[in-house]
Amino acid sequence: MGDWKTITVPVLSSDSKNIFSYTSEKKISPTSMNSQVLRLSLPSSKNMHSFFSAFCTEENLEQSISYIDRELTTLGFPSIYAESKGKELNLVSIINCMNELLVLQHKNLRAQEEVEMQHMKLGSDMDHLQNCYAKLKEQLELSKREIVGLQERDRQLQSKNRNLHQLLKNEKDEVQKLQNIISSRATQYNHDMKRKEREYNKLKERLHQLVMNKKDKKIAMEILNCVGRADGKRGAWRTDKTEARNEEEMYKVLLSDYEQRQKQLLLENAELKKVLQQMKKDIISLLPPQKQKPKEKSEDGLVLSDQEEDIGELNKENMWELSCETVREQLTNSIRKQWRMLKNHVEKLDNQVSRGHSEALNEKDVISREDHELETEKLELEIQQCKEMIKTQQQLLQQQLTCDDDTTLLLQDCYLLEERERLQEEWRLFREQKKNFEKERKSFTEAAIRLGLERKAFEEDRGAWLKHQFLTMTADCSNSNATTPSAFLRSSEPDIRLVKSASQQRKPSSVLSAPASAEPCQTSLYIAQNSVVSEKPAADIMPNLWVESDDKEETE
């Protein structure tokens, strides 16, 4: 058998590869074949034919056939000889072998192709990876450089920061120092100022002394005359009493001011307390009634009970209007509690609303919202109804005020008629009264005239009687004994006269009083009449009469 010589020929042509594959398959006799193969390693299609012919010539036909048979049998193919020991060739087996070899050849070609493809792919992958690798290496380099740069910057910035901190500290120290300097300078200035001031005071004192010592006659007040004090009082001496009074007044002023302020503060406090109470009530009303169920948590329950207690207590105490600490604290604490409860409630509602948006299953919330909407609708309806009612009412009012002309005229006429009737009635009454008054007046005048006449007569009688009396008196005086009887006479006479006058008085009064029976206006008229009568010249004597009779009554 020939040696297998694997010749690695780095030539990349398919032909040469084929040749190579051929050479690897076929057993070539050592010497001749070797050289032939070596010679035929050059890729040329022409050589192939020559190669085919070079292997088997007419001379070595049997040798080559036996060689091929040996090869085939070693490869597992059936022998190409007809029989195992004959020299006749089995054509069928030869053809089969050839076919098999061709198939094998095809398979191998395909495999080769595949391998070559893979090889190419791997090669390109390799290239690609190498490129990537190169790029990444570059990037790495770059980023390393960047990092280094950034680190540098960071270091610089940190050092800067440290510097700035240092500067800041320095500045602060400086500021502190300056402040210290300022304060020390200030104290120094103060000290200097005080010294200068003392000097100045001394100078002033000296000046003052000089001024006072000079005893300037010029320092005087020239005034024409003293002016009174503004409040008219005289000046008071300075005594302890006045001092005490001054103190008293001052304290009074202060006290009144404090009292006023306290009043204001009390008022403010009361108002604020009222406001707080109101707020508390509002908050309690705002909180839903559900919470008052005892099934709620124990905290709420406790709080509720407290709250109720508080309400009770504070309501009571509000009536007393105590302003002590405990009440104040209670009030503020209770308001805080209420406020917290309200806050919690509002938060819960918020949560519910947010949950309700996300979960539609929570019927309770949906219902509550629905309820809310229903309520709002109801309220809106109510509002509309009310508005309509108001409109209709307005319309009616307007109608009433400005109705048709006819109706207004009618109405006005009605009113006018009513009024006219009333007025007519009154007129009638008035006329009647007037008539009555006229009548009375006439009667009064007649009576007055009569009275006047009677008075005249009475006067004449009186005059005569007086004369007579006077004469008798003078006659009696001369006879002193006759005084008493005459006195009696006198007394009796005036009595008689009085009786007479009284009767006469009664007469006119009776005359006058007769009409003064029932109606009160007539009595007033009587008085008026009296005055009227008194004005009349004929009745002038009457007041005198009245007076005289009064006098007489008094004297008797």
Partner 1 sequence: ASCVQHRLVVRDASSLQLLQLYTCLDQIQYIEWSSDSLFILCALYKRGIVQVWSLEQPAWHCRIDEGSAGLVASCWSPDGRHILNTTEFHLRITVWSLCTKSVSYIKYPKACQQGVVFTKDGRYMAVAERRDCKDFISIFVCSNWQLLRHFDTETQDLSGIEWAPNGCVLAAWDTCLEYKVLLYSLDGRLLSSFRAYEWPLGVKSIAWSPSSQFLAIGSFDEKVRILNHVTWKKITELDHPATIASKKTIVYKEVEKSPAVDPERLSFPPTRELASSLFSTKSKYDISQVPVSLQYVKPVADRANPKVGVGMLAFSADNCFLATKNDNIPNAVWIWDIRKLKLSVVLEQLCTIQSFQWDPCQPRLAVCTGTSRVYLWSPAGCVVVQVPGEGDFQIMSLSWHSSGDSLVLLSKDNFCVCYLEGEEV
Q: Point out which residues bind partner 1 (CB under 8 A).
A: 179, 182, 186, 190, 193-194, 197-198, 201, 204, 207-208, 211, 214, 216, 218-231, 235-236, 238, 242-243, 246-247, 249-251, 253-254, 257, 261, 265
Q: By C-beta, is 238 or 357 nearer to partner 1?
A: 238
Contacts of 260 (CB under 8 A, 6+ apart): none
| 511 in Cβ contact with 446 (< 8 Å) | no
The least distance separating partner 1 from the CB of residue 211, rounded to whole angstroms, comes to 5
Cα(197)–Cα(18) distance, integer angstroms: 129
| 177 vs 420, beta carbon nearer partner 1 | 177
Q: How far is the CB of 193 from partner 1 (least distance, A)?
A: 8
Residue partners of 472: CB distance under 8 A and separation at least 6: 486, 489
Least distance to partner 1, CB of residue 168, Å: 20
Q: Tokens 């108001």 label which residue?
A: 390
Q: Of 31, 3, 8, 29, which is closest to residue 20 (Cα–Cα)?
A: 8
Minimum distance from residue 326 beta carbon to partner 1 (Å): 23
Looking up tokens 């008196």 gives 473
Q: How many Cβ atoms are within 10 Å of 338's Cβ, its own excluded?
A: 22
Alpha carbons within 13 A on the beta-carbon side of 174:
6
CA 453 – CA 503 distance, rounded (Å): 16
Tell the residue number behind the tokens 């390693």, with chain if given.
Answer: 41
Pick 261 or 442: Cβ nearer partner 1: 261
Q: How far is the CB of 241 from partner 1 (least distance, A)?
A: 11
Residue with tokens 């070693």: 74
Q: How far is the CB of 333 from partner 1 (least distance, A)?
A: 24
Indicate the residue among 253 and 499 with the shorter CB distance to partner 1.
Answer: 253
Q: Which is nearer to partner 1, 194 or 536 (CB)?
A: 194
For the bound state, the minimum distance from the C-beta of residue 269 to partner 1, rounded and expressed in Å, comes to: 12
**Which lies closer to partner 1 via its Cβ, residue 242 or residue 351?**
242
**What is the spatial distance between Cα 469 and Cα 489, in angstroms, rounded to a whole number?**
10
Question: Based on CB atoms, which residue is closest to partner 1, 225 or 298?
Answer: 225
**CA–CA gap between residue 133 and residue 129 (Å, rounded):** 6
Task: Tell me the C-alpha to C-alpha distance, in Å, between residue 301 and each of 1, 291, 306, 384, 479.
Answer: 113, 8, 8, 42, 126
